[in-house]
Chain A
Amino acid sequence: MQGPLFDSFAGRGLSRRGFLKYCATLASLLALPPSAGRAMAEALAAARRPSVIWLPFQECTGCTESITRSHTPTIEGMIFDMVSLDYQETLMAAAGHQAEQALAKAVEDNKGKFLLIVDGSVATGLEGAYSCIAGKTNLALLKELAPHAAAIVAMGSCASYGGIPKANPNPTGAVAVSDIVKDKPIVNIPGCPPIPVVMTAVLAHFLTFGRLPELDRLGRPKAFYGETIHDRCYRRPFYDQGKFAKTFDDEGARNGWCLFELGCKGPVTYNACAHVKWNDHTSWPVESGHGCLGCSEPDFWDAGSFYKALSMPANPLKTVVPAAAVGVAAGVAVTWYNRSHKAAARKAHETAGVADLEK
């Protein structure tokens, strides 16, 4: 195996076998046939370091954090060596005017071919003034760059759907990338933050096949967002048996029972956490004893409390008791009317005799 990427891997002690194994894993996660693993290995190894421009909008930098763990070198980190990350505000060395120039040059040199990664939502309130970089609104920047990108990756729930900034009352008018850009292939990789390997798999797919993987109705890669957490959860047998933890440190919780009653949104959340897990297959929220927040779903912040079970009403039922009172009042009022109506009919009664049987 020859090529710039593979050389850099070899330099860090990754064997050819190890690299092939990794590509096979990626292919399998994407539900592609074994031959794809080989194709990926060859494509990645020979990758010519395509240009990647990363724009951070209204974000918390959590997505960058998730992807770019560098305190322990991960293969994800190495992949980022493999692309030409021409603009990434957290990671790049340049700052100020130099950074702006780097961006302009990257766009110019790779027009139509660069991959645009966006994290954070796009502010549209006050014409986008809520979030600016170097005096330019995120909105303007996105509109300027998007037409020149080959494809757009909306990293994280904010870029995919608006995320936290969009939560009620949405003071900045935050929207998703796909609400602004309508004429480019966009892949949403939601999660707050998303799982690192999902990012990598999408990139690998793009680099190998020149296009994005199969997406679901919300623009998410089906391979990772095709099933609910609930359907892959290892605690599912407890749900089926009706064994629930009722508080965070009770016997049920300590026995590892289902967290449905503690607000787990697993049943309505599509993500890969339950089987791919985090931190290199170490654990994930439910395994650590906390219910799923549903963070890869649109508007998960406004979907009722994180600690209220899906079977509970999302808001307090404020009008039911007053409605009962109104019902009583209505019933009594109608009955009062009915009885007086009947009494009036009785009063209007004319005693009937034989003559009254004929018209």
Chain B
Amino acid sequence: MTELQLLTWARGTGLNIALSIFVLGVIWRLVEIYGLGRKQDLAPARHRDGASGWNTILRRSLAPPGLFKRSPITYIGGYVFHLGLAIVVFLFAPHIKLIQGLVGLSWPGLPSQLIDLVTVVTLAALLVVLWDRIVKPVKRYLSNFEDWITWLVTFLPVLTGYLAVKHLFLPYTTLLALHILSAELLLVVLPFTKLFHAFTSFGSRWYNGAINGHRGVPT
């Protein structure tokens, strides 16, 4: 298979398969999880401003008092790579073009040199959190095959995207094909692994806020 054929497959059949599995998986899993429902809490609620599910969705993004200094790498590394991913995925012009092609929405992007910088920082942050996962006893203890694989599947698109734009190691067409394929791999894997927290953490935070908010405790 030539590199252009690989690219055409990745842009064509591959994209179709990946997006289909992604959409199917996300919907199925969301319904599977939230369809279980929750019994109504019959105890009379204690109302308190700021104690609710919606509040917690936002507030849980901040480190609770005292926690930051106990694990700064988890917070800093985590924030940097999440924000970095968001910036690179949603504010890089070719990606915006892709989204525009798929759903019709578009918005201005950032200059490509800034994206380059953010990409390098994101790659570094991903490597740092990997190292931390290996080195810290709790994280190492908890980690299993799924943790390593999901890290790899997140790292590869960022890496291959950067290599493609910079024309490093392999011809551009090949790198572009690999980049698209790695992003498709990420899409396919996402609904069925811990990466699904991209969707469920909102529900989880909401439940946390609601359950504790019912008792008047803002979390």
Contacts and interface: CB of A to CB of B under 8 A. Distances in A.
Interface of A: 161, 217-218, 228, 230-231, 240, 242, 260-261, 267-268, 270, 294, 297-300, 302-304, 309-315, 317-320, 322-324, 326-328, 330-332, 334-335, 338-339, 342
Contacts of B24: 323-324, 326-327, 330
A309 B97 contact: yes
Interface in B24-38: 24-32, 35-37
Given A261-B97, A320-B20, A338-B36, A331 B4 contact: no
A242 B93 contact: yes
A334 B101 contact: no
Contact of A311 (B19, B97, B109): B97
14 contacts: A260-B97, A268-B172, A268-B176, A303-B5, A311-B95, A312-B97, A317-B15, A317-B102, A320-B16, A320-B23, A323-B19, A327-B27, A330-B24, A331-B29
B4 A320 contact: no
A86 B28 CA distance: 69
Contacts of B108: 242
Contact of B16 (A261, A302, A317): A317
Contacts of B71: none
Interface in B8-62: 8, 11-13, 15-17, 19-21, 23-32, 35-37
Contact of A242 (B28, B101, B109, B167): B109
Interface string B132-144: 0000000000000
Contact of A240 (B15, B16, B36, B112): B112
A299 B93 contact: no
Residue with the highest number of chain B CB atoms closer than 10 Å, among A217, A311, A317: A311
Given A327-B23, A339-B35, A334 B16 contact: no
A298 B4 contact: yes
Given A313-B11, A313-B16, A268 B4 contact: yes
B72 interface: no
Interface of B: 2, 4-5, 7-8, 11-13, 15-17, 19-21, 23-32, 35-37, 93-95, 97-98, 101-102, 108-109, 111-112, 167, 171-173, 176
B29 A267 contact: no
Contacts of B37: 339
B4 A303 contact: yes
Contact of A331 (B17, B20, B31): B31
A334 B28 contact: yes
Nearest to B167: A231
Contacts of A322: 20
A183 B101 CA distance: 46
B178 to A, nearest CB: 13
B32 A324 contact: no
Given A267-B176, A299-B5, A320-B23, A315 B12 contact: yes
B12 A314 contact: yes
A317 B184 CA distance: 14
A274 B23 CA distance: 41
Nearest to A230: B172
Nearest to B100: A311
Given A242-B109, A313-B101, A328 B16 contact: no
B31 A320 contact: no
B179 to A, nearest CB: 12
A331 B27 contact: yes
Contacts of A268: 4, 7, 172-173, 176
Contact of B32 (A314, A326, A331): A331
Residue with the highest number of chain A CB atoms closer than 10 Å, among B28, B101, B109: B28
Residue with the highest number of chain A CB atoms closer than 10 Å, among B11, B108, B112, B176: B11
Contacts of B31: 327-328, 330-332, 334-335
B36 A339 contact: yes
Given A335-B31, A335-B32, A342-B36, A312 B23 contact: no
A268 to B, nearest CB: 4
A347 to B, nearest CB: 16
A294 B19 CA distance: 27
Contacts of A311: 94-95, 97-98, 101
Contacts of B97: 260-261, 309, 311-312
B100 to A, nearest CB: 8
Given A304-B12, A311-B101, A327 B28 contact: yes
B8 A302 contact: yes
Contacts of B15: 313-314, 317
B8 A323 contact: no
A333 B176 CA distance: 39
A51 to B, nearest CB: 33
Contacts of A267: 172, 176
Given A268-B172, A311-B101, A339-B35, 14 more contacts: A218-B2, A230-B172, A268-B173, A298-B2, A300-B4, A303-B8, A312-B11, A313-B16, A313-B102, A314-B8, A314-B11, A317-B19, A317-B102, A328-B28
Contacts of A335: 31-32, 35-36
A332 B167 CA distance: 46
Contacts of A332: 31, 35
Contacts of B111: 240
